């Protein structure tokens, strides 16, 4: 039985989702993969920090957080620790970095990731900031220290958009990548097609927890643009900045635009695109009225999708969840299994 010790930074939706999976599937993974995941440390800005080098009681920890919304008061609580202490000092084989996303600086997540990699600790993350801004540097740091950096969760959560392009289609010659990379805007557009005006559709997305109180990051296309930057780096080897993405949001779309498209056999989608044109990689995020017959047209609600156009395999489309606590937690687990080279036995 292989044992993998994990430190968790960030214990919000995603962190708790991963912990739920590791609690509920512990016996299944022992049997199927011959692995036992042991969480030695958890640090969260709001909830506090717990640490035990032999492993924490995951069930007790989750029960405590669900009941009291804090980790303080647990036997292994570490009042003097924070996420940085965890990254620098906790006994662990891998760090699961799930703190908040900052697409301007990548901090503080990038610092946690660097500290862990320097110590020879693998890192898996669902955080777009460090990957969009500093992937090259972080990947080099991982290699120098003989460890790996897993980033599947940064695009389309556990739906393996990155693994499909980086591994399986790596030899097929990827010409073009298009996708629906933001579930909130796709939900709003789906509602608008059903007849709701934009403010009402946005309100429903907010009520369901898809959109934040300030929805700018989603509806103006910044979130999707961050994912396009990550895809450019990971699939095409091109480092772009956010400003290199030709970006347009969905806020100006009117019920009349939606109706007109419907009449023309089309449907508005917020499409992120990467395409080679004359040896230059062109990146955009913008609403487009795509034909109903296009594989992305049928993707409704908060679902995400990626559509690859390749030389050798033609067109390949992957559709799946783009967010959610279990779906994103699962992305980190996928990376951990790949890093530890665990396959069903």
Q: What positions carry a catalytic annotation?
A: 227
Angular region, 235: left φ>0, alpha ψ -120 to 50, beta rest: alpha
Q: How far is the CB of 249 from a second copy (least distance, A)?
A: 26
**Pattern 292-311, binding to a second copy, x per CB under 8 A?**
-x-x-xx-x-----------
The smaller minimum CB distance to a second copy, of residues 84 and 342, is found at 342
The smaller minimum CB distance to a second copy, of residues 12 and 320, is found at 320
Which member of 330, 332, 339, 340 binds a second copy (CB under 8 A)? 330
Q: How far is the CB of 148 from a second copy (least distance, A)?
A: 11
Cα separation, 54 vs 39, in Å, equals 9
Which member of 68, 170, 175, 208 binds a second copy (CB under 8 A)? 170
Which member of 87, 138, 319, 332 binds a second copy (CB under 8 A)? 319
Q: CA-based angle 228:229:234, to the nearest 5? A: 95
Q: Could you write out the three-class secondary structure of 243-278?
A: HHCEECCCCCCCHHHHHHHHHCCEEEEEEEEEEEEC
Residue 333 found at the interface with a second copy (CB under 8 A): yes
Residue 62 found at the interface with a second copy (CB under 8 A): no
Quickly tell me which residue has 């003989």 as its tokens: 146
Residue 53 found at the interface with a second copy (CB under 8 A): no
Backbone angles phi, psi at 109, to 5 degrees: -60, -40
Token pair in block for residue 197: 């005006």
Q: How far is the CB of 150 from a second copy (least distance, A)?
A: 13
Cα separation, 170 vs 164, in Å, equals 8
The helix/strand/coil state of 227 is: helix
Residue 26 found at the interface with a second copy (CB under 8 A): no
CB 266 within 8 A of CB 257: no
Q: CA-based angle 80:98:225, to the nearest 5? A: 140
Which member of 159, 245, 253, 272 binds a second copy (CB under 8 A)? 159
CB 43 within 8 A of CB 71: no
Which member of 15, 160, 215, 249 binds a second copy (CB under 8 A)? 160
Residue 262 found at the interface with a second copy (CB under 8 A): no
Residues near a second copy, by CB under 8 A: 21, 25, 28-29, 32-33, 157-160, 163-164, 166-168, 170-173, 293, 295, 297-298, 300, 312-321, 324, 326-327, 329-330, 333-334, 337, 343-344
């Amino acid at each position: 039985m292989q044992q993998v010790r994990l430190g968790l930074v960030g214990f919000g939706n995603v962190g708790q989702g991963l912990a739920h999976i590791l609690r509920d599937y512990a016996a299944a993974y022992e049997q199927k993969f011959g692995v036992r995941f042991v969480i030695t440390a958890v640090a969260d800005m709001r909830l506090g920090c717990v640490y035990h080098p032999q492993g924490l009681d995951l069930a007790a920890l989750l029960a405590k957080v669900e009941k009291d919304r804090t980790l303080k008061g647990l036997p292994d609580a570490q009042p003097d620790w924070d996420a940085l202490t965890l990254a620098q000092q906790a006994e662990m084989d891998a760090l699961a970095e799930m703190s908040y996303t900052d697409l301007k600086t990548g901090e503080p997540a990038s610092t946690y990731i660097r500290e862990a990699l320097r110590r020879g600790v693998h890192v898996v993350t669902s955080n777009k900031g460090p990957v969009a801004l500093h992937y090259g540097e972080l990947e080099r740091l991982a290699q120098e220290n003989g460890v790996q950096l897993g980033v599947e969760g940064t695009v389309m959560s556990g739906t393996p958009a990155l693994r499909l392009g980086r591994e399986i289609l790596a030899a097929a010659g990827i010409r073009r990548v298009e996708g629906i990379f933001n579930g909130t805007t796709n939900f709003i557009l789906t509602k608008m097609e059903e007849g709701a005006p934009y403010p009402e559709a946005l309100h429903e997305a907010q009520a369901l927890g898809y959109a934040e109180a300030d929805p700018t990051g989603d509806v103006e296309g910044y979130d999707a643009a961050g994912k396009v930057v990550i895809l450019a780096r990971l699939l095409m080897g091109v480092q772009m900045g956010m400003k290199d993405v030709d970006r347009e949001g969905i806020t100006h779309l009117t019920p009349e635009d939606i109706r007109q498209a419907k009449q023309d056999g089309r449907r508005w989608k917020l499409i992120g695109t990467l395409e080679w044109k004359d040896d230059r990689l062109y990146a955009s995020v913008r609403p487009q009225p795509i034909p109903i017959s296009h594989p992305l047209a049928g993707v409704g609600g908060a679902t995400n999708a990626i559509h690859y156009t390749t030389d050798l395999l033609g067109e390949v489309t992957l559709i799946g969840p783009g967010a959610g606590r279990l779906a994103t937690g699962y992305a980190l687990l996928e990376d951990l299994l790949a890093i530890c080279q665990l396959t069903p036995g």
